Amino acid sequence: MNAVNPRRWWALVVLAAAQFMVIMDTSIIGVALPEMQRDLGFTQSGLQWVFNAYVIAFGGLLLLGGRLSDLFGARKIFTTGWIVLIAGSVIAAAAGTAWVEILGRAVQGVGGALIAPAAMTLLMMLFGHNQRELGKAMALYGAAAPAGGTAGVFLGGVITEYLSWPWVFIVYIPIGLATLAAVPALLPAVQGRRGSVDVLGAAAVTAGIALAVFAIVQAPEQGWGSAATLLELAGAVVLLAVFLLIQRAVKQPIMPLGIWRTPGLATANLAMALLGAAWIPMWYFLNLYLQQVLGYGAFPSGAALLPMTIAVMIFMIGITARLLGRFGAKPLIVLGLLVLAVGVAGLALARPGGTFAVDVLPASLVAAVGMSLAYIPAMMSAMSGARPEDAGLASGIVNTTYNVGSALGLAVMTAIAMSQGAAELGDVVKLTDGFQASFVGAAVVALVGAALALVLMRKPAPAPQEEAAAGRA
């Protein structure tokens, strides 16, 4: 066993900061979207690619990032991830066209996919010697995610209002360089191990997800029954099927299919996918409603979303864990998705001449409570049945599922919104009709998630520790 690292708590600061920054990268761009749209010429439907390019690259490559971390050493991959993230930030900040912006966001997503699994491996190495310390470290590391989401919303507003939108990416450069400077002194060197990299599998799953999202985004323009849309969707299905065949055929797949025999993994991942597919479209279109309908600037828009994001952080850190201990995962997942559906449905009542206090604040707070109740229980449920040696893989799968659900959900709700008038910039009535339709769609997704969780989720079997304590002589 490795000696206890005397600087482990300082190392945790670096790892938690990385988690904070990776999550902030999904939220900081929200209030900057209309400014980017004006400067870079995004269409109303194409604007979602600023978000989706990051999420598809991040979600599609997370499992590969975990595998690379095992093979080449977690510290090396963590460092590489930050170099890639900084490079993506430079491209995104310097972008003069929509396509360059999308490229920069995708490169940022690749960096995040390397950083996140490597950070988790390093955390386990630093604190695995003591379960109490590990629990405390995991709580602090976990708290960095909602904190990053909250800070991103507010900082995005401040930066866009008082500087300009490229600064939401420039901010990553000094933070990334400071992190890289701290790595040699604080993070342990980790020996890699022999093995192969399933590049083909990673390419197939990422391309399949990206093509599915692209097909859904283009469908309102091309027609859902058009040859182009059907071919794109068929291509996505073929690529995902090829991914599964590759996982069966190769010796060291990025996602061994046997992991899906883990009790509760499939249903918890389904809940996570539907949670992302409801929450992210709500957050995205609420940003646009505030700015394009209510006429908020970037800073007021960021400030308007702050109560919701603070509520998420407070519930996730202070309340959900206690409720999980008392009631278990299933009731909280079902209740959380139901409450989320109610909150998002409340946003569907938003009016063209609405106000923040009436049309946004109450419903967004209800939605935030629902998200907070469901997210951690679904995450824990997905990982709790896995063997210790599969915990990293289970964590990678559930994070991938959430991000893929988010991307597909946003693509579908954007298609719905555009078909109902959300492409009509300047016409607040038409815009509101489109945004309302997306909120209704997201509420239905959350409701379906609650129903499926209620029907499909089972009470967990006794934990392995309990069985061992009871059963073995």
**CB within 8 A of 43, min separation 6: which ones?**
423
If one compares 150 and 46, the residue with the highest pLDDT of the two is: 46
Token pair, residue 182, equals: 């701290």
- Burial string for 248-262 (b: 16+ CB within 10 Å, else e) reads eeeeebbbeeebeeb
pLDDT digits (tens, 9 = 90+) for 300-332: 888 888 888 888 878 877 788 788 878 888 999
- Mean pLDDT, rounded, for 180-199: 81
Per the confidence metrics, is the pTM higher than 0.85? Answer: no
Distance (Å, whole) CA 113 – CA 400: 10
pLDDT at residue 91, rounded to an integer: 96
Q: Let me know: does 272 contact 401? Beta carbons within 8 Å.
A: yes
pLDDT at residue 459, rounded to an integer: 66
pLDDT digits (tens, 9 = 90+) for 125-149: 887 677 677 767 766 776 677 677 7
- Mean pLDDT, rounded, for 66-90: 90
Q: What is the largest CA-CA distance in the chain?
A: 74
- Burial string for 156-177 (b: 16+ CB within 10 Å, else e) reads bbbbbbeeebbbbbbbbeebbe
Q: Let me know: does 159 contact 31? Beta carbons within 8 Å.
A: no
Name the amino acid, one letter, at 209: I
- Burial string for 205-229 (b: 16+ CB within 10 Å, else e) reads bbbbbbbbbbbbbbbbeeeeeeeeb
Q: Let me know: does 48 contact 170? Beta carbons within 8 Å.
A: no
HEC profile of the chain = CCCCCCCHHHHHHHHHHHHHHHHHHHHCCHHHHHHHHHHHCCCCCHHHHHHHHHHHHHHHHHHHHHHHHHHHCHHHHHHHHHHHHHHHHHHHHHCCCHHHHHHHHHHHHHHHHHHHHHHHHHHHHHHCCCHHHHHHHHHHHHHHHHHHHHHHHHHHHHHHHHCCCCHHHHCHHHHHHHHHHHHHHHCCCCCCCCCCCCHHHHHHHHHHHHHHHHHHHHHHHHCCCCHHHHHHHHHHHHHHHHHHHHHHHCCCCCCCHHHHHCCCHHHHHHHHHHHHHHHHHHHHHHHHHHHHHCCCCHHHHHHHHHHHHHHHHHHHHHHHHHHHHHHCHHHHHHHHHHHHHHHHHHHCCCCCCCCHHHHHHHHHHHHHHHHHHHHHHHHHHHHHCCCHHHHHHHHHHHHHHHHHHHHHHHHHHHHHHHHHHHCCCCCHHHHHHHHHHHHHHHHHHHHHHHHHHHHHCCCCCCCHHHHHHHHCC
Alpha-carbon Rg for the chain in angstroms? 21
Q: Let me know: does 340 contact 278? Beta carbons within 8 Å.
A: yes
Q: Let me know: does 268 contact 400? Beta carbons within 8 Å.
A: no
* Number of Cβ within a 10 Å radius of residue 245: 12
pLDDT at 461 > cutoff 70? no
- Mean pLDDT, rounded, for 387-404: 75
Name the amino acid, one letter, at 189: A
Residue with the two structure tokens 């599609």? 60
Name the amino acid, one letter, at 340: L
Distance (Å, whole) CA 424 – CA 382: 41
pLDDT at residue 216, rounded to an integer: 84
**CB within 8 A of 201, min separation 6: which ones?**
64, 243, 246, 247, 250, 253, 254, 255
If one compares 143 and 232, the residue with the highest pLDDT of the two is: 232
**What angle in degrees, to the nearest 10, is found between the helix axes of 49-72 and 265-288?**
140
Distance (Å, whole) CA 147 – CA 306: 11
If one compares 424 and 435, the residue with the highest pLDDT of the two is: 435
- Mean pLDDT, rounded, for 71-80: 88
Q: How confident is the model at residue 212 (pLDDT cuts 50, 70, 90)?
A: confident
Q: Which of 187-201, 215-229, 278-292, 393-407 has the highest mean pLDDT?
A: 278-292
pLDDT at residue 462, rounded to an integer: 46
- Mean pLDDT, rounded, for 400-424: 85
pLDDT at residue 471, rounded to an integer: 44
Least confident of 244-253, 347-356, 373-382, 431-440: 373-382
Q: In the chain, what percentage of residues exceed pLDDT 90?
A: 31
